[in-house]
């Protein structure tokens, strides 16, 4: 496959989706057992599902695009971070480990291609929910997963912002800063969701806004960000700058750590919010 056409190639996206499905089956195999849990150096939980799914994804990406380096969560936790260039993969084999432990189904397998700092291709698979979201420039879709295959594939797109905004936020990582930031809106409804599914709710037009005032890493957000951008949305930092990827040697944070950000369905909403006064300012 020619490098120049990765983000425009339907076969490439299809192969990433199939790879996510294979990893999802491994995750569900562990989910059905009484699995053990350990903690990484940052005290975040990790299970056999994280590790086994990442092994499947890394092997699959070597087959699909061996020339593209991969930044994967568990590899990074073990200190294995290859040099990256303009193009690389970001992998979170099990986003929402706390949701996995709570057995609420809201965990995902995430694979994204980054090109020049932008997530251009992404797949988000929620194996316990039987759903898969995927996107590349100009095309985003949602499909059900039945018997290991995609069925009912349908194009998705963001919606125009509702008069009463539907805000989606983290089920396991809420913050007082997010609650304060939302005070700038006179009225909104709020729903919690786990993992990168929050981006997907915006991408399919059932929510408007996802503010995140809490720590995330690039592998947490890249696949969902790619799906949302493909569906017509945007993800920006609190100063309105598009969220970028491949952040290494940061003066005030670790490699691949994200700043706080806000994801929008309607890009016009992003522009409007930038002009709103901060309701928390004194």
The verdict on whether residue 94 carries a ligand-binding annotation is: yes
Complete DSSP assignment for 233-273: -EEEETTSPBP-S---S-SSS-TTB---EEEESSHHHHHHH
Q: Which residue has the tokens 């890009």?
A: 267
Helix (H), strand (E), coil (C) string for 153-198? EEECCCCCCCCCEEEEEECCCCCHHHHHHHHHCCCEEEEEECCCHH
CA distance 158 to 176: 27
- CATH 3.30.540.10 corresponds to the domain 3-155: yes
Q: 6-18: per-residue pLDDT in tens?
A: 887 889 999 999 9
User: Phi/psi zone of residue 148: left (φ > 0), alpha (ψ -120 to 50 degrees), beta?
Assistant: left
Contact 114, 11 (CB under 8 A): no
Confidence of residue 43 (pLDDT cuts 50, 70, 90): low
**Cβ–Cβ under 8 Å, residues 253 and 282:** no
The Cα 234–Cα 244 span in angstroms is 12
CATH number of 165-275: 3.40.190.80
Residue 174 banded pLDDT, cuts 50, 70, 90: low
Where are the domains positioned within the chain? 3-155, 165-275
Whether residue 151 is predicted with pLDDT greater than 90 in this model: the reply is yes
Contact between residue 137 and residue 230 where contact means Cβ atoms under 8 Å apart = yes
- The reply, when asked if residue 73 is annotated as ligand binding, is yes
| Residue 280 is labelled as binding a ligand | no
pLDDT digits (tens, 9 = 90+) for 216-227: 999 999 999 999
Question: Average pLDDT in the 113-119 region?
Answer: 97
Residue 146 three-state SS: strand
Please give the pLDDT value at position 27: 96
Mean pLDDT of all residues in 155-176: 84
Q: What band does 163 get if pLDDT is binned at 50, 70 and 90?
A: confident
Reduce the DSSP state of residue 41 to 3 states and report it: coil
The response to whether 135 counts as a known ligand-binding position is: no
**Predicted local distance difference test score (pLDDT) of residue 281:** 42
For residue 98, the model assigns a pLDDT of: 87
Tell me: is residue 97 an annotated ligand-binding position. Answer: yes
| DSSP codes of every residue in 195-219 | TTHHHHHHHTTS--EEEE-S--BHH
pLDDT of the residue at 200 = 97
Averaged over 240-257, what is the pLDDT? Answer: 93
Can you give the pLDDT at residue 279? 41
C-alpha–C-alpha distance, residues 206 and 236, integer Å: 20
* Paired residues of 57 in beta bridges: none
* Band (175; pLDDT cuts 50, 70, 90): confident
Per cent of the chain over pLDDT 90 is 69
pLDDT at residue 247 in the model: 96
Query: What 8-state DSSP symbol labels residue 277?
Result: -
């Amino acid at each position: 496959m020619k490098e120049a056409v990765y983000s425009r190639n339907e076969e490439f996206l299809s192969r990433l989706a199939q790879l996510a499905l294979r990893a999802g089956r491994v995750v569900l195999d562990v989910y059905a057992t009484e699995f053990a849990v350990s903690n990484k150096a940052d005290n975040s939980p990790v299970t056999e599902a994280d590790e086994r799914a990442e092994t499947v994804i890394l092997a699959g990406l070597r087959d699909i695009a061996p020339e593209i380096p991969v930044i994967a969560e568990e590899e990074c936790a073990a200190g294995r971070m290859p040099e990256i260039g303009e193009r690389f993969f970001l992998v979170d084999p099990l986003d929402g480990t706390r949701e996995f432990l709570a057995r609420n189904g809201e965990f995902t397998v995430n694979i994204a291609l980054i090109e020049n700092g932008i997530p251009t291709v992404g797949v988000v698979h929620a194996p316990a929910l039987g759903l898969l979201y995927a996107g590349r420039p100009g095309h985003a879709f949602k499909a059900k997963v039945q018997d290991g295959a995609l069925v009912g594939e349908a194009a998705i797109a963001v919606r125009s912002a509702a008069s009463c905004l539907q805000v989606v936020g983290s089920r396991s990582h809420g913050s007082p800063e997010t609650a304060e930031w939302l005070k700038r809106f006179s009225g909104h409804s709020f729903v919690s969701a786990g993992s990168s599914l929050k981006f997907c709710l915006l991408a399919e037009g059932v929510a408007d806004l996802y503010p995140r005032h809490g720590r995330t890493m690039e592998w947490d957000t890249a696949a969902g960000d790619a799906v949302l951008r493909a569906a017509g949305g945007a993800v920006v930092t609190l100063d309105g700058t598009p969220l970028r990827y491949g952040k290494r040697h940061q003066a005030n944070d670790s490699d691949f750590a994200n700043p706080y950000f806000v994801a929008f369905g309607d890009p016009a909403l992003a522009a409007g919010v930038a002009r709103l006064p901060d309701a928390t300012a004194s």
